Copies of this chain bind each other. A is one copy, B any other.
Amino acid sequence: MREASNRSNRRVVYETLRRKVLTLELPPGTSLSENELAASLGVSRTPVRESLILLGEEGLVRVFPKVGSFVSRVDAERVADAQFLREAVELAAFDDIPGTLDPELVAELRANLEQQREARLDLEKFFELDEAFHHGLLRLSGHGRAWSTVVAAKGHLDRARRLGLHETNGMGRFVDEHHSILDAVVAGDISSARDSLRAHLRAVFDDIEKTRQRSPELFATDDGSVPVRRSIAVWE
C-alpha cells in the first residue's frame, strides 16, 4: 500500500471515524467491529483498533472487552462537564486580551462572521465556522493552543448540539450573538464581551437542555451497559 500521503493510515482512520461520530453519521449505539471497519476501509485491524482506543479515551466510543465497541451514548453529564470547561476557558481567556488586538486576526474573525451569515442554513458548514470563530477568540488572548484541549473534551457537547440543531431552522441568531461578542472585544469593552459570550454559550446549552427534555431517549447516562447488538451497515 503506497499512499503518497505522509499521514499514517491510523491518522486517517481516526479522523474519519471521529468526524462520522461527531456528525452523528455514526449514531450513538452503533456497533463498531474492528473487522468490519478494517474491511470497509481497506486496512488491517491494527490502525482501526488503535483509532478505537483513542476514541475510547476521548469518550466517543466505548470498548467492552471481548464483547464489542460501540459509539457512546450522548451522556448528559459529559455534556455538562464540557459546557463548564469551555465556558471557564473561553471566559478566562478574555481576561488576558491585550490592549491592542492583532489586526490580521480581527480581520479573519470578521471574514468568518460574513461566511457564517452565508452558511446559516448549512449545519455542517456553520459548525466548522463556529469552531474556527471560537478558536479565534482564544487566539486573540494568546491562548489558542488551549483550544485543542477543549475540542478533545467537548465531543459529547457537540453531538448534543447537533441533535438539537437538526430541528431548528437556521443559525442566524448565533451569528448575531457572535457579532455582539466580537464588537465588544474590538471596542475594548471586555466586561461586555464576557457577558455576551457567557450568554451565548448558555443559550446554546439551554437549547440542548430543551432538546433533552423533548427527546430524552437520545440522551442517556452511560451506565456501562452494552447496547443491543444491531446489524448496522456502518459503512456504505
Give the interface of A toward B (CB within 8 A).
1, 3, 6, 8, 10, 49-50, 53-54, 57, 62-65, 67, 77-78, 81, 84-85, 87-89, 91-93, 96, 143, 145-146, 149, 152-153, 224-226
Are A3 and B84 in contact (CB-based, < 8 A)?
no
Partner of A53, one of B50, B88, B153: B50
> Within the assembled complex, what's the spacing in Å between the Cα atoms of A77 and B143?
10
> Within the assembled complex, what's the spacing in Å between the Cα atoms of A184 and B146?
29
Contacts of A96 in B (CB 8 A): 84
A50 to chain B, nearest CB (A): 6
Contacts of A145 in B (CB 8 A): 77-78, 81
Asked, given contacts A1-B64, A65-B8, whether A92 binds B81 with beta carbons under 8 Å apart, the answer is no
Partner of A88, one of B64, B65, B88: B88
List 9 A–B pairs whose Cβ atoms lie within 8 Å, in order of A's numbering: A1-B64, A1-B224, A3-B64, A54-B57, A81-B149, A84-B92, A84-B146, A85-B149, A92-B92
Contacts of A50 in B (CB 8 A): 49-50, 53
Contacts of A81 in B (CB 8 A): 143, 145-146, 149
Contacts of A64 in B (CB 8 A): 1, 3
Contacts of A85 in B (CB 8 A): 89, 146, 149
* Closest residue of B by beta carbon distance from A67: B1
* A-B contacts besides A1-B67, A78-B145, A91-B92, 18 pairs, CB < 8 Å: A1-B225, A1-B226, A3-B62, A3-B65, A53-B53, A53-B54, A54-B54, A81-B146, A81-B149, A84-B89, A84-B92, A84-B96, A87-B92, A88-B88, A88-B92, A89-B89, A92-B92, A149-B149
Partner of A224, one of B3, B62, B89, B93: B3
A160 to chain B, nearest CB (A): 16
What 7 pairs across the A-B complex have the smallest Cβ distances?
A88-B92, A88-B88, A149-B153, A81-B145, A88-B89, A81-B146, A85-B146
